[in-house]
Amino acid sequence: MVQKTAEKLSIVIPVYNEERTLSLLLEKVAAAPLSIDREVIIVNDGSTDQSEEIVRKFMAQDHAFEVKYLRRNNGGKGAAVRDGIAASTGSVLIIQDGDLEYEPNEFERCIEPILSGEYQVIYGSRERKKHNGYSNLRFYLGGLAVTWFIDILFGCNLTDEPTCYKTFCGDLIRALDYENDDFGWEPEVTCKLLRLGYKIKEVGISYTPRHIAEGKKIRWHDGLKAFMITLKWRFCSMKKFEHLRKKVFMPER
C-alpha cells in the first residue's frame, strides 16, 4: 500500500479555453483560507486561447505554495483530471474547474471531514445549499436524474453526483484508476467507490452557474453516457474490482 503523504491539499484544475475566468479563479484559489498547506496543479487540456499565458503569469508570482503546470493535447476533462491526480502529492485532493461556478473559499468545508478521519470521500452538493441557481433546466434535471439513478442502484442518498467539488483522500484517488477521458470519469469514479463500499459524504456549497454561451462545456449526451456507465459498474462482475481491492485502502465493513 501507498505510504501516507504530508498533510496538504492538492487542488487539481483542468483547463480548456478558460481565458475569460481563469485569472480571477487562480487568485481565488491562491487566497482561499486553509488550515493545511496546499499545492496547485493546473492541467491545460490543449487550450487554444490565452489560458497558457494567464497560467504563466500566475506561476511567475511569489507564492507560498508549489504550482505545477502540465500541458497536454486535448483529450477531455477526465484525461486532464487523471494527469493532475497522478502529479499530486497531497493527503487530500479536490477538483476545481477553471471557471467561476464554484467558490474556492469553501475548500475547507469540503476537506474537514477527511482531515478529521470521518470520511475518505466528500462531495460538495449544490442541492444542499439553498438559493443556488442552475444554468439550464434540461441540464439541471438531467443531473438530478443521474443522481437519482445512482441512488436507486447503489442504495445511497446523494443529491448532486455531477458536482465539480469532488474531494478525496489523496492516496485513495491516486490508487483508483478509471477509463473515461471525458465527463464520464465522474460517474465512473462515483460508482466504483460505492461498489467498493466507500461512503460518500455531502456538504452544501455555493454555486454560480454559467451558460453554454459563457463557455459551459457539458452536453446532453454526457448525461446519457452517465446512465450507461452507472449500469456497467453496478452490474459488472466483482472480478473487475479485484485489482482495485489490492490497490485502495478498503473501508471498514
Mean pLDDT check: name the lowest of 31-35, 79-83, 216-220: 216-220
At residue 60, the pLDDT reads 97
pLDDT of residue 174: 96
Residue that has been written with the C-alpha cell 446512465 in this structure: 227
Burial category of 134 from C-beta neighbours within 10 Å (exposed 0-12, middle 13-18, buried 19 and up): middle
pLDDT at 250: 55
Alpha carbons within 13 A on the beta-carbon side of 53? 5
Q: How far is CA 63 from CA 31, 56, 57, 134, in A?
A: 10, 13, 12, 34
In the predicted structure, residue 221 carries a pLDDT above the cut 70: no
With contact defined as beta carbons under 8 Å apart, do 177 and 244 qualify?
A: yes
% pLDDT > 70, the chain: 90
Pairing state between β 166-169 and 92-95: antiparallel
pLDDT mean over 131-146: 83
Q: How many residues does the chain have?
A: 253
Residue 138 DSSP one-character state: H
- Indicate if the pLDDT at residue 151 is higher than 60: yes
Q: Which residues contact 202 (CB under 8 A, 6 or more apart)?
A: 122, 123, 124, 125, 128, 158, 159, 160
| 26-73 pLDDT, tens digit each | 999 999 999 999 999 999 999 999 999 999 999 999 999 999 999 999
